[in-house]
């Protein structure tokens, strides 16, 4: 099987590759958004602690 044949997927390429592409994009996006949420929570907590410090 050569590469062109593989990419052609027996005529189903137009359906198969978007399906795989979507799932892989979602997998990557979930990791990115979870890490961003974590960093954001850390930054927000740091700001909160700093505000408490300046008040006291």
Partner 1 sequence: MWTWFHKLASPPHFYRIAGLVTPWFAWPALVLILVGLYGGLVLAPMDYQQGEGFRIFYVHVPSAIMSMFIYSTMAIAAGIGLIWRMKLAHAVAAASAPIGAWFTVCALATGSLWGKPMWGTWWVWDARLTSELILLFLYLGFIALRSSIEDPQRADRAAAVLALVGVINLPIIHYSVVWWNSLHQGSTMFNPGAMSIEMKWPALAMLFGFMLYFGAVLFVRLRAEVIRRERSATWLREELAR
User: Which residues contact partner 1 (rule: CB under 8 A)?
Assistant: 6, 9-12, 15-16, 18-20, 22-23, 26-27, 29-31, 33-35, 37-38, 40-42, 44-46, 49, 52
In whole angstroms, the minimum distance from the beta carbon of 42 to partner 1 comes to: 6
In whole angstroms, the minimum distance from the beta carbon of 18 to partner 1 comes to: 6
In whole angstroms, the minimum distance from the beta carbon of 41 to partner 1 comes to: 4
Q: Please give the Cα distance from 22 to 14 (Å, whole number).
A: 13
Q: Please give the Cα distance from 20 to 14 (Å, whole number).
A: 11
H/E stretch holding 28: helix 13-55
């Amino acid at each position: 099987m050569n590469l062109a044949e593989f990419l052609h997927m027996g005529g189903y390429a137009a359906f198969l590759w978007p399906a795989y592409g979507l799932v892989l994009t979602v997998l990557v996006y979930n990791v990115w958004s979870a890490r961003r949420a974590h960093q954001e929570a850390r930054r927000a907590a740091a700001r909160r602690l700093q505000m408490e410090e300046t008040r006291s």
